[in-house]
Amino acid sequence: MLDDLLFVLVVLEGAVCLAAAYMVMLLAASGFHDRLPLHLMVFAGSAGALVVTAAVADGCRGYRQRHHSRH
């Protein structure tokens, strides 16, 4: 159950991160630099959340593998 939740979170956060990166590229290319900081903050926040969620998922997987290898 936790694996499924973490997988869904990683996929959703990855999608938000990609969408924010796309918007940053579009805004930078079209010259709307006044809206750029907001989109950069969204990108940084989603990228940070993605890294944290991936680290938690990796830690859970590593713990489970170590726990199963003992038995």
Give tens-digit pLDDT for 19-71. 989 998 998 888 888 888 888 898 899 889 989 988 888 888 888 778 777 65
Q: Containing domain of residue 49, as a range?
A: 2-69
Burial class, 20, CB count within 10 angstroms (exposed 0-12 / middle 13-18 / buried 19+): buried
| Domain count within the chain | 1
The pLDDT of residue 3: 80
Question: Which H or E run includes 55?
Answer: helix 36-69
- Report pLDDT for 71: 59
pTM, 2 dp: 0.73
Residue 28: the pLDDT is 85
pLDDT at residue 10 greater than cutoff 70: yes
